Amino acid sequence: MTQIHLIGFCILIVYPQVMVRFTVLASGSKGNASVLTAGRTRILIDAGISCRELFRRMMLVDEDPATLSAILITHEHADHINGLAVTARKLGIPVFFTEATHRAWVRQLTPRKRMTYADWLAEQRRLKAEAEFNATLAETNNETSIGLSDAEALESEEALDAAQELVEEELAETAAAEEAASQPNRIPSRAENPAWLPTVEYFTAGVPFTLGDASISPFTIPHDAADPVGFVFEAEGVRLAIATDLGYIPPNVKAALRNLDLLQIESNHDLEMLRDGPYPWSVKQRVLSRVGHLSNDATGEFLENEYDGGATYVILAHLSESNNLPDLARVTAERALSNHASLLSNRLLIASQHEPMSSIRF
Ligand SMILES: [Zn+2]
Ligand SMILES: [Zn+2]
């Protein structure tokens, strides 16, 4: 969009004014986050990488973290919320959840036995070391199978980074908390409440709401979390949707994913790679189930038979590093889209786990 300003006598300054901008900062089982700029509103969708890494990636794509207006959460799985508490506290911005997702997140952060973040982090490091030892042992014994918890622990560098940040916060706040504890009628401090957030706002799946210059329509997705959602965003006549972490595509999701300018959709695994891969059978069953993740084939089938072909950008997202290859996901989606007359207007992109995508501007 171009705006023309007249300054003084006949001096024309022409500059591009990007009103809607979308960037995937991270996508995959080790962490998810995207940022949407709509006019004066800047929204972070999920905070599944550490705050430090989130800020680093935002700076890489010229998005200033200090200008974020709010954080929106799809569901409470670790790869979507790992950096949430620190990011929201650091920026002092509201977090939007469904009530059930917020409760599930609070439960996750409130251990049954009193455990400090430092204790928790030590425990995680112990589990990780154990998993690495087991993996080495498995390799030595020429075994190919390791459990998912081991695989997850091996892939948890970013989760530990996020936890380390919480420990640093905890240490900084302990002194203040101790002082506050001696006062009567005090409000529990941040250090005493790991789920403390500056502001919590609730939305309901199926009920659209407005956040600054963006209209947001959350829709229910079939996934094994408390109340998981995808989002359709509308701003300046541009429609964008995020639909990842879903076992299949039910009618309400198909209805939401129409008339889009940008579609970010999951293409999680290749069926053969998953079947032949290292996960235990129970975990394979979970991924394949109606509340698991979309395979390349399932996404391809949607793109071929249900998708209206109208989006300028189709982003394949949440690719599994253990059970997928970007080329497999791309080829399957390209084959599906090739039956669309509007293929030429569709740009197929693959979201990455380890680096932000180039910003998409409308
Ligand atoms: Zn999930
Ligand atoms: Zn996920």
> How does pLDDT run across 180-214, given as a tens digit for each residue?
555 555 555 566 788 999 999 999 999 999 999 99
- Distance in angstroms (rounded) separating the CA atoms of residues 82 and 92: 17
**Three-state DSSP class for 140?**
helix
User: Which segment of 9-18, 155-164, 201-210 scores lowest on mean pLDDT?
Assistant: 9-18
pLDDT the model gives residue 227:
98
Residue 176 CA to ligand 2 centre (angstroms): 36
Task: Tell which residue, 108, 61, 99, has the closest CA to residue 80.
Answer: 108
Is residue 4 scored above 70 in pLDDT? no
* Residues around ligand 1, an ion, CB closer than 5 A: 77, 245
User: Is 50 in contact with 82 (CB distance < 8 Å)?
Assistant: yes
- 126 by Cβ neighbours in 10 Å (0-12 / 13-18 / 19+) ranks as exposed
Residue 75 CA to ligand 1 centre (angstroms): 7
pTM of the model: 0.80
Residue 6 CA to ligand 1 centre (angstroms): 50
Tokens of 353: 């786990």
Residue 209 CA to ligand 1 centre (angstroms): 23
Residue 61 CA to ligand 1 centre (angstroms): 26
* Max CA separation in the chain (angstroms): 81
What DSSP line would sit under 45-102, residue for residue? E---S-HHHHHHHHHHTT--GGG--EEE-S--SHHHHTTHHHHHHHHT-EEEE-HHHH
Residue 185 CA to ligand 1 centre (angstroms): 39
